[in-house]
Amino acid sequence: MPFDAANPAADVKHPEDKLRRWGASSETGRMTDVLLSAPAHLEMVPCNDVTRDSIARGLRTEPAVAERQHDRFAAALARAGVRCHFADPINGLPDLSFTRDSVLMSPWGLIELRPSAEHRRAETRHVAAVARRLGVPVQHRVGEGSVEGGDVCLVRDGVIVIGHSNERTNFTGAKSLGALFAARGWEVIHTRFDPRFLHLDTIMTMVADRVAVVCPEALDDVLLERLSDLDIDLVTASVEEVGQLGANLLSLGDGRVVAASGSGRIASLLASRGLEVIEVDIDQFTRCGGGPHCLTMPLARRAAG
């Protein structure tokens, strides 16, 4: 029985919903459910280096093209066996398509985050309400500082990295979120990076249980050493590739990775490690500073194996 894209709440009536277990303990377990939002009101808000550079080069978003690209992106996820749910677009929330940032799925339920950008603050309440209608347990709310989901990486069950640049996520917000995981016995790794990179997931993403794409020039040596200690194979992305969102990758689990079109060298390196790379044309979104990882909020992942 297909989901009702026009009315995501209708999914709750599906018999499988009574059995579904929401939650994610890593970035690489097999994704079964994801939250998306169509780009009906997508605009280029000059709040990060990528967007400012795009505007300076005369690039603009084209609503009809963005809609088609997002539809094809969702279709690619559906073909991969991912059940897509949708938060309705809202006028005045131009970045709502980047569903990664306002909430975080943990192993025990959804956590409401605290975006710092003024134009994004209303996203959290809207996305959390959609999640509740789907039956997703909303367990916590970050109560101080600012923290956005693009700065969070669930490396594996029991290990989380939280980045802070003091622009989108500050250390107060990072500590507040980290305390929720530390209380559950997780290792919490805090790392600082240059705000020009916008979010941690532009310079570091897990693509398989023991493989990560990283930009060493943008990451702290202590973090890189800890990842190596965890026996994670580090695939290097250049600063130039980061600027093209080449390191902003989405693991679907089972050795499958979604990348923005044109990620040639990185795609080849991942393929050489036995990973299947699914390329999608999303240039309307990359010019706004977001890639496949940014466009998705996983609602359910099976444990990585």
pLDDT digits (tens, 9 = 90+) for 212-253: 999 999 999 999 999 999 999 999 999 999 999 999 999 999
Return all residues near 31 (Cβ < 8 A) that are at least 6 apart: 77, 82, 251, 252, 253, 298, 300, 301
Instruction: Give me the pLDDT at residue 146, please.
Output: 97
What is the per-residue pLDDT for 84?
98
Q: How far is CA 84 from CA 67, 79, 185, 252, in A?
A: 16, 11, 31, 13
pTM above 0.85, yes or no: yes
Chain segment 288-297, per-residue pLDDT in tens: 889 999 999 9
pLDDT for the residue numbered 289:
87
pLDDT value of residue 13: 44
pLDDT at residue 165, rounded to an integer: 96
pLDDT score, position 10: 38
Q: Write down the CATH number for the domain with range 8-301.
A: 3.75.10.10
Q: Which residues of the chain are modeled with pLDDT < 70? A: 1-20, 44-60, 304-305
In this prediction, residue 235 carries a pLDDT of 98
Q: Where are the domains of the chain?
A: 8-301
Task: Give the pLDDT of residue 131.
Answer: 97
Q: What pLDDT does residue 241 have?
A: 96
